[in-house]
């Protein structure tokens, strides 16, 4: 194996040289758990922690390593390393932090492609598909749509579903598969590029674990679920969240990824709903909300059937959520700023007290 098989590339190598990281090892974070990490290199998988200095200079959650990150490390002993620096990230998949309005939490980094998975039976829902596409667009991750469980429907039902997807979602590959009959699995495998990193997005029950087992050629999820290993005082679970597939692709699958969903699709609307955005330039009013205005180009297109009615409704809903999210972030920033001012004021008055 080479470092390239884990996704290492020229860009990262140039960065390493520029930074003068010559005395450090380079590896990829394959597991994170409460500020403990597992870093994979060609020869080894190390338990890792970050050096105090990195902890000290980190002023937000995103400054800490995440699964998928490339890091520079020094060896502590044969099983343990210290992380000194995190390489710049090509892409970041994040979600709204639980219980903290307006705050983000990194799920994984440096992902090239996302398999957006839906099952063709109960789960099939184009609005939800558009939401996952929007998450990809915010994150700069390239989407590939996977329709799973096609063993449950017949050919004409399948072509009908694909037709419905195509009506609303253009230019994105759609691959139909069944983990049960293995139909389409070879096509999917062939589409996976060696050295590129993938993740699986989709609701619970659509068949992500089954596909993972299918692609990795093991029964990983069944046999090797999260378990605390007690040997050698290791606290980190033995469940790797980044794995190299048989044909050379790299797949990231962690619990956080499975929670990425509805609430996280607030940015990136422009690309998902490109047709609507393009039309809105022709609206009479610059601040047109495309709901009740006269001479609204979007409404006209919906009326004339040029824009799908459901897609339009989904757009309005997501736009509203986006505004809500942005105003929450703005409020939080203001609060932080006010707090900063208060501290400064406090320090100043303390200073003047001395004299």
| DSSP β-ladder status, 92-96 and 142-148 | unpaired
Kindly state the number of chain residues that form the binding site for Zn ion, as judged by CB under 5 A: 5
- 80-86 and 70-75 strand pairing: antiparallel
Name the binder of 135 from ligand GDP, Zn ion, none, CB < 5-8 A by kind.
none
Choose the stretch contacting Zn ion; rule: CB under 5 A; options: 56-64, 218-226, 285-293, 338-346. 285-293
Of residues 179 and 311, the one with the C-beta less far from ligand GDP: 179
- Is 290 among the residues that bind Zn ion (CB under 5 A)? yes
Q: Record the tokens describing residue 16, joined without a space.
A: 């390493």
Give the one residue of 74, 159, 204, 278 binding ligand GDP; rule: CB under 6 A.
Answer: 204
Comparing CB distances to ligand GDP, the nearer of 121 and 306 is: 121
C-alpha 36/C-alpha 236 separation (Å) is: 7
151-172 as b/e, with b when 16 or more CB fall inside 10 Å? Answer: eebeeeeeeebeeebeebbeee
Considering only CA atoms, which of 122, 149, 146, 121 is closest in space to residue 132? Answer: 146
- The single residue among 5, 35, 63, 151 that binds ligand GDP, judged by CB under 6 A, is 151
Q: CA-to-CA distance for 311 and 298, rounded, in angstroms? A: 12
Closest to Zn ion by CB, 24 or 273: 273
Token pair listed for 146: 């996977």
Q: What is the token pair recorded at 103?
A: 């705050």
| Paired residues of 313 in beta bridges | none
Convert 215-272 into a string of H (helix), E (strand) and C (coil).
Answer: HHCCCHHHHCCCCECCHHHCCCECCCCEEECCCCCEEECCHHHHHCCHHHCCCCHHHH
The verdict on 219 binding ligand GDP (CB under 6 A) reads: no
Q: Can you tell me which of 146, 296, 302, 307 binds Zn ion, judged by CB under 5 A?
A: 296
CB 80 within 8 A of CB 47: yes
Which CB sits closer to ligand GDP, 137 or 179?
179
| Closer by beta carbon to Zn ion, 75 or else 295 | 295
What are the backbone dihedrals phi and psi of residue 40, each rounded to the nearest 5 degrees, phi first? -100, 135
**197 binding ligand GDP? (CB under 6 A):** no
Number of chain residues interacting with ligand GDP (CB under 6 A): 14
For the chain, the straight-line distance linking the first and the last C-alpha, in angstroms and rounded, comes to: 67
287, exposed or middle or buried, with CB in 10 Å at 0-12, 13-18, 19+? exposed
Query: Which C-beta is closer to ligand GDP: that of 206 or that of 298?
Result: 206
Closest CB 293 distance from Zn ion, rounded Å: 5
Which of 16, 40, 95, 149 touches ligand GDP by CB under 6 A? 149
Which residues in 313-332 contact ligand GDP (CB under 6 A)?
none
Beta carbon of residue 135, minimum distance to ligand GDP (angstroms, whole number) = 16
The residue among 188 and 288 lying less far from ligand GDP, judged by its C-beta, is 188
29 binds, among ligand GDP, Zn ion, none (CB under 5 to 8 A by kind): none
By CB under 6 A, is residue 209 in contact with ligand GDP?
yes
Q: Find the binding residues for ligand GDP in span 152-191 (CB under 6 A).
A: 152, 178-180
- Rule CB under 5 A: say whether 283 interacts with Zn ion: yes
Which residues of the chain form contacts with Zn ion (CB under 5 A)? Answer: 283, 288, 290, 296, 298
Contact residues toward ligand GDP (CB under 6 A) are: 148-149, 151-152, 178-180, 204-210
């Amino acid at each position: 194996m080479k470092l390239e098989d884990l996704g290492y590339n020229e860009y990262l190598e140039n960065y390493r040289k520029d930074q003068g990281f010559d005395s450090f090892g380079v590896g990829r974070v394959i597991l994170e758990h409460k500020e403990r990490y597992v870093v994979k290199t060609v020869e080894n998988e190390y338990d890792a922690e970050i050096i105090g200095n990195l902890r000290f200079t980190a002023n937000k959650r995103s400054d800490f390593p995440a699964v998928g990150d490339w890091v520079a490390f020094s060896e502590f002993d044969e099983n343990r390393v210290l992380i000194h620096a995190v390489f710049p990230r090509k892409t970041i998949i994040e979600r709204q932090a639980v219980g903290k309005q307006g705050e983000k939490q990194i799920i994984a980094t440096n992902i090239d492609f996302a398999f957006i998975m839906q099952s063709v039976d109960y789960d099939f829902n184009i609005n939800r598909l558009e939401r996952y596409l929007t998450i990809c667009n915010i994150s700069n991750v390239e989407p590939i749509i996977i329709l799973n469980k096609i063993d449950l429907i017949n050919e004409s039902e399948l072509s009908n579903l694909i037709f419905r997807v195509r009506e609303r979602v253009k230019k994105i590959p759609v691959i139909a598969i069944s983990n049960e009959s293995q139909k389409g699995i070879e096509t999917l495998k062939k589409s996976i590029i060696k050295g590129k990193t993938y993740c699986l997005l989709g609701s619970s029950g659509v068949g992500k674990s089954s596909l993972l087992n299918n692609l990795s050629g093991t029964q990983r999820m069944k046999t090797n679920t999260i378990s605390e290993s007690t040997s050698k005082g290791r606290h980190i679970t033995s469940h790797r969240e980044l794995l190299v597939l048989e044909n050379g692709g790299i797949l990231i699958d962690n619990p956080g990824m499975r929670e990425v969903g509805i609430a996280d699709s607030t940015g990136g609307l422009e690309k998902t709903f490109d047709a609507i955005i393009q039309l809105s330039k022709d609206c009479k009013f610059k601040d047109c909300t495309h709901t009740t205005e006269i001479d609204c180009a979007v409404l006209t297109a919906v009326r004339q059937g040029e824009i799908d009615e459901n897609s339009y409704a989904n757009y309005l809903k997501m736009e509203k959520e986006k505004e809500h999210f942005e105003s929450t972030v703005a409020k939080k920033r203001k609060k932080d700023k006010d707090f900063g001012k208060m501290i400064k004021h406090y320090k100043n008055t303390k200073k003047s007290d001395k004299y």
